[in-house]
Amino acid sequence: MPKRTDIRCVLVIGSGPIVIGQAAEFDYSGTQACRVLKAEGLRVVLVNSNPATIMTDPEIADATYVEPITPEFVEKIIAKERPDALLPTLGGQTALNTAISLHEAGTLDKYGVELIGANVEAIRKGEDRDQFKEVVEAVRGKIGHGESARSVICHSMEEVLAGVDELGGYPVVVRPSFTMGGAGSGFAHDEDELRRIAGQGLALSPTTEVLLEESILGWKEYELELMRDKHDNVVVVCSIENFDPMGVHTGDSITVAPAMTLTDREYQTLRDIGIAVIREVGVDTGGCNIQFAINPADGRVIVIEMNPRVSRSSALASKATGFPIAKIAAKLAVGYTLDEIPNDITEQTPASFEPTLDYVVVKVPRFAFEKFPAADSTLTTTMKSVGEAMAIGRNFPEALNKALRSLEKKGSQFDFATPVAGLGDKDELLAAARRPTDGRINTVMAAIRAGASPGEVFEATRIDPWFTDQLFLVKEIADELAEAGRLAPELLAEAKRYGFSDAQIAAIRGLREDVVREVRHTLGVRPVYKTVDTCAAEFAARTPYFYSSYDEESEVAPRTRPAVIILGSGPNRIGQGIEFDYSCVHASFALRDAGFETVMVNCNPETVSTDYDTSDRLYFEPLTLEDVLEIVHAERQAGPVAGVIVQLGGQTPLGLAQALKDNGVPVVGTSPEAIHLAEDRGSFGRVLVEAGLPAPKYGTAFSFAEAKEIAAGIGYPVMVRPSYVLGGRGMEIVYDEASLGDYLTRHAGLVSEHPVLIDRFLDDAIEIDVDALYDGTELYLGGVMEHIEEAGIHSGDSACALPPITLGGHDVKRLRASTEAIARGVGVRGLINIQFALAGDILYVLEANPRASRTVPFTSKATAVPLAKAAARISLGATIAELRAEGLLPASGDGGTLPLDAPISVKEAVLPWSRFRDVHGRGVDTVLGPEMRSTGEVMGIDSVFGTAYAKSQAGAYGALPTKGRAFVSVANRDKRSMIFPARELVAMGFELLATSGTAEVLRRNGIDATVVRKQSEGEGPNGERTIVQLIHDGEVDLIVNTPYGTGSRLDGYDIRTAAVARSVPCLTTVQALAAAVQGIEATSRGEVGVRSLQEHAEHLTAARGK
């Protein structure tokens, strides 16, 4: 039966900012869905507050609302657009929760909007643990298989304590209901832990509900991805087995597809249960995933949970199998059945089948614990990873080794170079491997090398013996490599078959990596490229989706058009996320339009770039020099290669530029030499001197004595950091000599081999970001962003406004001149991002990055100009003048000459504080600093700054309050600037609470404030609560707390972590306070409207034409 004819307009809800547990995979799925629906001739209305997504590109939907994903804003959009249907299953938990709220509030009924792809009852049955248990029981009644872990539902701490006895004692699992990515869940081994985890869980759950469960720690863990259509046809798209047994969130586990250690009987039992569950839950159409635990001793199967929507795992499954779950879910939602939808990859067979794999897929998580040194790094049922890499190989070791090197993290690959004697004691290594952590697999390998037996490894880790044996196999090959008299061709080929990198072989043999590569090439040991085809070669594949393997036959077809190879950005991490994928995808689109054959290389399964129909060819491969060189070789065999683009994928590909060039690979765009010029402190300094541009004073120190001298010369405060860092790692502002000494002691490890850079810290400066294009003669100023937080907060964590709200035409003129001078001096061909600081009247240059920056998507959306597309074209030789003539860039003017009535866009960063606890279970501090820690961002766009800022806050953290109690406690240096905004708060009807010092200042300025007790003062004699207690009790609506430097840090820490725990808006800079006051004002003044990007763009284009 073909698609429904009664639906003409569909609203799709995205997932909002990237946070842990809900990341780029929903951009991938949402983008697919929007494209499918549009191709079906439907009007697609999209809401997503995240500007860094492809789905919010104006051409993906018909009306794109970059507005907060809250029931209030979505209702405004519904009222305006009047869609017939709402598709809520492709935007993660955020979209699903919003849809349920709209349903409960009666909004959907009011406007006659039908939920498609899911129904509320099915969502509840799937997500409510009590109801889901009933589902599982019903399934057991029908098919005789499947059960739930024994459990009790609790709504209070008393019920929780009683529940443990009911289950037969500790350990127990605590799972809050309706939270995403398992937020707030964990194992409790005793009452203390139970009180902490369950207390947190009750608070986090929107229904104040947690589930206590018998422990199935150490069991085997599996997942099935299923799809169902309206005719009740059900297929299992993919099975996934976790390398890490039960106890580690599947998002934090190493996972393998297909399942490796199930017999057919056991697999079919899971399949039967899965199908029975999807029917029982009543997911009418679309995808869902179901997780299982299996007792390795007797095969007892427990159904853990199901997600009645497209999930992170479905993105992984789509990439792992070539079966595009989100795309098909969208088609099913509008009425198609599986047999009516063709399989894109074979073109001749239908989607109503189950993919079969002739390769192995391994996903490994990437963590960012180094950014949160206080956080407990033990892996639990709460997801903590910030990204993931996937690799495909013809066997498990090959896929695993490729995945580990895809992580691009020091120490992520197995280390066989350290002598066994240097690894440490076997028993200690086994003891360490008991605790699941980032890199446990490396600890296991070290234990194996130190002599652990398979039995000992299983006893310590419960990792399945088959997986363990594969690790032993890898280790044995490493031993052979080490012991061999020479690197014989057979041995080398064997090592490559099991995924050893040239670098690993080099380390084992004591050679240089390039020497191993040369030997390998001489011996003719090179990878072939196989196709991901959904059917294990039963049918011919039409889609060139490749992975490398050391096997016999390659499937790369010859081509005639020149190819451009675009290097992606690898696993998401803090500082390098979806924004870079956005630029890579844009480059691919633009270059395909310009007549090139585009070849994408990336290893991040969450992304749009690794969708097989984004580029002409996709290589799902690690982004290491070795892997990229082999792809270049294969593509050169296939046809002409115009060049490789390294500028758009962030630091990962940029770091390969010089080595690629040295290996004879044409790097297009900004040359590797120019990249070096911008990145090397000394060379860049000379560029600035030649251009007559000031930079803050700085120096390089190798010892405390030197550092002391340099800092004194510059004058405190100074910014200190190790010389090689990325993303501001280890960077701090130091206010005096004692703190400098303290810094060097604390970072002894970081700085031992590298000098320390000491910069003048520009106190009270305005920080400005500029994105620009340069073609060698003309500069196109993409956009000027004024940071809301002062200089010193990492630009990635700072909110910013575009166009700048306090800079005048004169300032923009100076910025343009400086940008052009730097672009010319460095030799940029494409994008450059420069950070400036305006202190007094001096415009300092902080740093320049000759590549696409994190802000490119934001700038592009705020100004309605596709900067990344233009950059890609410039890299391949187009000029800005040509692009203006073509219409890719505006005919005249640029991002620095926006019309006066252009909309104001505010970008706000989203930080993962609520995800982390220290080892004692306390929250981690939320103070912003020079080290970037945000995982994602939102954009608020409106005609005035206040409203745009309020929208950005609503999108990031929940709406700003318009009344209630505001607590104010600021550092001495901030007290003066706090007075005016505080007065405004009172004028708007807020009651002010303050600690004694701040209250005194306020009162002296005629502002009434109630004194509350500090946490350090403790409860008062008459039971007066401290500020922290008040926050926990939900009696504070807004918190303003700026850090005090070194003194009384603890108080602020408790306040800020309490704010995070209770989700109370917490402003940590006075600049943010001032902006928030404007936002609150705008919100209280009345109706805040919604406007699509297309409308904004139309307005801008019209204004530009004037």
Binding site for another protein (CB under 8 A): 231-233, 235-236, 258-265, 267-268, 271-272, 296-299, 337-339, 348-350, 352-360, 394-396, 454, 464-466, 468-469, 472-473, 476, 479-480, 483, 530, 535-540, 551-553, 555
- Tell the smallest beta-carbon distance from residue 714 to another protein (Å): 58
- Tell the smallest beta-carbon distance from residue 236 to another protein (Å): 8
CB atoms under 10 Å from CB of 197, counted, come to 27
Q: Which is nearer to another protein, 540 or 919 (CB)?
A: 540
Q: Is 189 helix (H, G, I), strand (E, B) or coil?
A: coil
Taken in order 838, 843, 846, 847, the sign of the CA dihedral is: positive
CB 13 within 8 A of CB 897: no
Q: Which is nearer to another protein, 61 or 236 (CB)?
A: 236
Q: Which is nearer to another protein, 156 or 348 (CB)?
A: 348
839 CB-near residues (< 8 Å, 6+ apart)? 762, 763, 764, 765, 766, 791
Q: Is 346 helix (H, G, I), strand (E, B) or coil?
A: coil
- Tell the smallest beta-carbon distance from residue 360 to another protein (Å): 7
- Tell the smallest beta-carbon distance from residue 140 to another protein (Å): 16
Q: Which is nearer to another protein, 268 or 418 (CB)?
A: 268
510 CB-near residues (< 8 Å, 6+ apart)? none
- Tell the smallest beta-carbon distance from residue 297 to another protein (Å): 6
- Tell the smallest beta-carbon distance from residue 539 to another protein (Å): 7
CA distances from 122 to 302, 304, 310 (A): 20, 17, 14
- Tell the smallest beta-carbon distance from residue 314 to another protein (Å): 18
Q: Which is nearer to another protein, 353 or 369 (CB)?
A: 353
For residues 80, 86, 92, 98, the Cα torsion angle rounded to the nearest 10 degrees is 60
Q: Which is nearer to another protein, 193 or 551 (CB)?
A: 551
- Tell the smallest beta-carbon distance from residue 419 to another protein (Å): 17
- Tell the smallest beta-carbon distance from residue 215 to another protein (Å): 20
Taken in order 966, 971, 972, 974, the sign of the CA dihedral is: negative
47 residue type, one letter: V
- Tell the smallest beta-carbon distance from residue 14 to another protein (Å): 32
Q: Which is nearer to another protein, 348 or 972 (CB)?
A: 348
Exposure string over 712-746, b if 16+ CB within 10 A, otherwise e: eebebbbbbbbeeeebbbbbbbbeeeebbeebbee
CA-CA distance, 766 to 526, in Å (whole number)? Answer: 53
Q: Which of 449, 396, 149, 372 is nearest to 254 (CA)?
A: 396
CB atoms under 10 Å from CB of 263, counted, come to 9
Question: Which residue reads 């005096």 in tokens?
Answer: 736
Q: Is 1085 helix (H, G, I), strand (E, B) or coil?
A: helix
Q: Which is nearer to another protein, 400 or 910 (CB)?
A: 400
CA-CA distance, 693 to 844, in Å (whole number)? Answer: 7
CA-CA distance, 687 to 695, in Å (whole number)? Answer: 11
- Tell the smallest beta-carbon distance from residue 457 to another protein (Å): 12
Two structure tokens written together for 72: 């209030």
Q: In 784-928, which ranges are continuous DSSP H helix? A: 809-826, 856-863, 867-875, 880-886
Q: Which is nearer to another protein, 498 or 582 (CB)?
A: 498
- Tell the smallest beta-carbon distance from residue 479 to another protein (Å): 5
CB 360 within 8 A of CB 902: no
Q: Which is nearer to another protein, 148 or 468 (CB)?
A: 468
- Tell the smallest beta-carbon distance from residue 466 to another protein (Å): 4
Q: Which is nearer to another protein, 134 or 555 (CB)?
A: 555
- Tell the smallest beta-carbon distance from residue 144 to another protein (Å): 12
Q: Which is nearer to another protein, 259 or 765 (CB)?
A: 259
Q: Which is nearer to another protein, 266 or 737 (CB)?
A: 266
Strand order in the sheet with 85-87: 63-65, 43-47, 9-13, 85-87, 114-115
Q: Which is nearer to another protein, 164 or 477 (CB)?
A: 477
CB 301 within 8 A of CB 14: no
With residues binned 3-state (H G I as helix, E B as strand, rest as coil), the percentages for the chain, rounded to 5, are 40, 20, 40
Q: Which is nearer to another protein, 125 or 271 (CB)?
A: 271
Maximum pairwise Cα distance, the chain: 85
CB 946 within 8 A of CB 1081: yes
Q: Which is nearer to another protein, 269 or 926 (CB)?
A: 269
- Tell the smallest beta-carbon distance from residue 261 to another protein (Å): 5
293 residue type, one letter: A
CA distances from 356 to 127, 314, 497 (A): 29, 16, 22
CB 1080 within 8 A of CB 1074: no
CA-CA distance, 948 to 505, in Å (whole number)? Answer: 54
- Tell the smallest beta-carbon distance from residue 136 to another protein (Å): 19
Q: Which is nearer to another protein, 483 or 841 (CB)?
A: 483
Q: Is 1011 helix (H, G, I), strand (E, B) or coil?
A: strand
Q: Is 530 helix (H, G, I), strand (E, B) or coil?
A: strand
Two structure tokens written together for 637: 């065999």
The DSSP output letter for 755 is P
- Tell the smallest beta-carbon distance from residue 338 to another protein (Å): 6
Q: Give 827: exposed, middle or buried? Use CB within 10 Å, 0-12, 13-18, 19+.
A: middle
Q: Which is nearer to another protein, 321 or 875 (CB)?
A: 321
1034 residue type, one letter: G
- Tell the smallest beta-carbon distance from residue 494 to another protein (Å): 9
